[in-house]
Structure 1
Amino acid sequence: MHVWRDLGEVPSGFGPSAVTVGNFDGVHRGHLAVLSRTVEAARRQNLKAVAITFAPHPLAVLHPDRAPQPLSTPAHRLELLADTGLDAVLMLPFTAELAEWSPRRFVQEVMVDALHAREVVVGSDTRFGRRNAGDIDTLRELGADLHFTVDEVADLKGPDTGEGARRWSSTLVREQIVAGDVAAAADVLGRPHRVTGVVVHGDHRGRELGFPTANLTTDAIGAVPTDGVYAGWLVRPGETGEPGACSKHDTGERLPAAISVGTNPTFDGEQRRVEAYVLGRDDLDLYGERIAVEFVERLRPTLRFDGIEALIKQMNDDVARCREVLGVNTPA
C-alpha cells in the first residue's frame, strides 16, 4: 500500500480511483464497512482504492481543548488501513489553512485533480470542508459537475440495549473505554483496544512484590480506560519498531498480561499510570522499548489494601483470573 503524507507526493497521473475520506480513528467496524465498499468498487471498475485521512485529528488544530484522545497511533492506523486491501492512503497534514478550504476546493484539488476519483464512497455522517459545510448532498452535487458517482454506506449499529441501538463510531468507543467496558469497545473495534508508549522506570514496587511491571510513559498514545485491573496482552515491536496492528504484522512477541491503570492507592500514589505485568515472567528487560498494551476485560476497580499480604493475595487472584480470561494455562 502506498502512503502519501502530502498532496504533492501523489504521483502525476495516478488513478483513476475509488476514494473515501475520514479520520478513521481506531479503524472500527463502521469504518471497515466503508473501506471494504471502497475496495470492492475499485476492484469492480478496475480503479485504485484510496483513503484520505488526516494527522493530527482536526480538533487538535481547531479546538485543542476539545480534542479527543486518539484510539490509535498513526502507524497503527496505517497498518489497519492496509489490511483492508487499499492501494493507497493519503494522510494529509491537517492545518489551519486546510481547514479553510471550501468543500468544492477540497473535492476539486484532492479527490479529482490529484486522485482522479471516479467513485466516492462515504458514510451517511460524512462532513468536510470549511466549518464542515460539505455533506453527502454536497458530494452528490459536486459529483454531477465533476464526473464522479457517490456511494453512501448506511450506519452500522450495535444491539439495542433498551435505549436504542447506538451507531458504531469512534465517540462510542471512547465512551466505552472511559467507562472501563473494554470488552464492548473491542466488539465495535473488532479487536482489543490498545495504548502504546515507551517503557520507563517506576517505583519498582512490583518487582519487590514478585510482579515486575512495565510502566508506560505518561504521554502514551491511546485512550486510557478508567482505573482498574484488566486482563490483556503486552505487544512488543516487530521489525518496524512499532507494535503491529494485528497478528499478521506482529513479528515481535504478544504476551499475556495483567494491566493496572490508576494511582496505586495502597502506597499513596499520586501519578496515574498504565503498567503491565507479563504473566509468569520476571526476566524481561523492556526499559526504553516501545510497546503496546491491549485491554481484553476489566477484572475489578482499583482498591486500597490494608497491608502487603492482602495486596499480594489479590494480585495472585488477579493473575489467576487473567489466565482464565485469556485462555492461558497455569504453569505446572
Structure 2
Amino acid sequence: MERWHGTAEVPQDFGPSVVTIGVFDGVHRGHREVVRTAVAKGRELGLPTVVLTFDPHPSEIVRPGSHPPLLTTQRHRAELLAAEGVDAVLVLPFSLDMSRWSPEEFVRTVLVEALHARAVVVGANFRFGHRAAGDAAALEYAGGRYGFEVVPISLKGPGGPEGLSRSEPSAEPTRVIKAASDNRFSSTRVRALIAGGVVAEASVMLGRPHRVEGVVVRGDQRGRELGYPTANVETVPFAAIPSDGVYAGWLITDVDKPEKSFRHPAAISIGTNPTFDGTERRVEAYALDRDDLDLYGTHVAVEFAARIRDTLKFDSVEALLDRMADDCKVAREITDEAA
C-alpha cells in the first residue's frame, strides 16, 4: 500500500480513483464497513481505492487544546486500512489555512485535481469545508458537477439512522450498519468506554483489542526485584489510555519491526503504584512467565482484553505479591480463552 503525506506526494499520473474520507481513528467496525464499501466500489470500477485522512486531528487546529485521545497511531491506522484492501492512504497535513477552505475548494483541490475521484464513499453524517459548511448533499451536488458518484453510509443506533434522512438524495440506497448492543459505532463512544476501563466492550466496537504504543523506558525496576519485571511504556502523545487498574492483555514487542514482533500474554498495570506512594501515572506490562526480555528503548504495543480489578494500595509487599500472582492467573485464563 502506498502512503502519501500531502497532495504534492501523489504521483502526477495517478487516477482515476475511488476515495473515502475521514479521520478513521480506531478503524472501528463502522469505519471498516465504509472502507470495505469503497474497496468494493473500486473493484467494481477497476480503480484503486484511496483513504483520505488528516494529521493532526482537525479538532486540535480548529479548537486548540481539544485534541481527543487517539485510538490508533498513524502507522497502526495505515496497517489496519491496508488489511482492508486499500491501495493508498493520503494524509493531509491539516492546518488553520486548510480549515478555512470552502467545500468547493476542498473538492476541487483534493478530490478532483489530486485524486481524480470517480466515486467518493463517506459516512452519511460527513461534514467538510470551512465551519463544516459542506455535507453529504453538498458533496453529491459537487459530484454532479465534477463527474464523481457519492456513496453515503449510515450508522444506525438506538435512535435510528443518523446522517442523511430519507428525503435527501443519494447516489444509491444508504447502507445501514448496526453496532453491538444496538449502540452506534463511534470513535467518541469507544474513547468513553476506554476512559472508563470498559476495554472488553471497546474491543467489540473496534473488532479487536484496544492498543496503546510507546517506547520502553527505565522505571523504578521494582517489578524486577519482586519477580515480575515489567515494561514501563512511555506512550505516544494523546494516546487513549484506559482508567487506572489491572488488565489482562498482550505485550507486543518490536511492533515497528514485523519480522521480529511477538505477542506475549500479559498482565498490565495502569496507575501510580500507590503501595509504594508513587505519583507518576504509568503503563506497565508484565509478559507472563518471562523474565528474560530486554526491551529498553524498543517500540512496543500493549493490547487490552479485559479489566481484572481496580488499582489498590496494599498494606504490605507480601499482600501485593499474593494479589499479583492471582492477577497473573486471571490474565492467563483470559488471554488463553481469547486465543
TM interval, shorter chain, is over 0.9
SS of 1:118's equivalent in the other structure is strand
Paired position in structure 1 for 2:9: 9
TM-score (norm 2): 0.90
Contact 1:196 1:221 (8 Å CA) reproduced? no
**AA aligned opposite 2:183:** R
Contact 1:53 1:91 (8 Å CA) reproduced? yes
SS of 1:105's equivalent in the other structure is helix
Separation (CA, whole Å) in 2 of partners of 1:87 and 1:304: 50
Q: CA deviation at 1:206?
A: 0.8
Deviates more, 1:104-113 or 1:249-258: 249-258
For residues 76-102 of structure 1, give each alpha carbon's deviation from its aligned partner in whole angstroms, at most 9, with x where no partner exists: 111111111111111111111111111
Deviates more, 1:118-127 or 1:219-228: 219-228
Contact 2:117 2:148 (8 Å CA) reproduced? yes
Answer yes or no: is 1:228 the counterpart of 2:245: yes
**AA aligned opposite 2:46:** N
SS of 1:274's equivalent in the other structure is strand
Q: CA deviation at 1:321?
A: 0.4
Paired position in structure 2 for 1:311: 320
| Percent identity of equivalent pairs | 53
SS of 1:217's equivalent in the other structure is strand
Separation (CA, whole Å) in 2 of partners of 1:38 and 1:142: 18
Paired position in structure 2 for 1:157: 178
Separation (CA, whole Å) in 2 of partners of 1:201 and 1:220: 18
Answer yes or no: is 1:274 the counterpart of 2:291: no
Q: CA deviation at 1:112?
A: 0.9
Q: CA deviation at 1:8?
A: 1.0
Paired position in structure 1 for 2:93: 93
Separation (CA, whole Å) in 2 of partners of 1:223 and 1:166: 20
Paired position in structure 2 for 1:62: 62
For residues 123-169 of structure 1, give each alpha carbon's deviation from its aligned partner in whole angstroms, at most 9, with x where no partner exists: 11111111111111111111111111111112133244xxxx32101
Aligned residue among 171, 188, 192 for 1:171 = 188
The count of aligned residue pairs is 316
Separation (CA, whole Å) in 2 of partners of 1:256 and 1:263: 22
**AA aligned opposite 1:133:** A
Separation (CA, whole Å) in 1 of partners of 2:314 and 2:264: 28
Contact 1:198 1:290 (8 Å CA) reproduced? yes
**AA aligned opposite 1:326:** T
Answer yes or no: is 1:144 the counterpart of 2:165: no
TM-score (norm 1): 0.92
Separation (CA, whole Å) in 1 of partners of 2:128 and 2:238: 26
Q: How does 1:72-221 map to 2 (within 5 A)?
A: 72-155=72-155, 156-160=177-181, 165-217=182-234, 219=236
Contact 1:259 1:276 (8 Å CA) reproduced? yes
Structure 1: gaps (5+ residues): 244-248
Inter-CA distance 296–220: structure 2 relative to 1 (3 Å threshold):
farther
* RMSD between aligned residues: 1.4
Paired position in structure 2 for 1:246: none
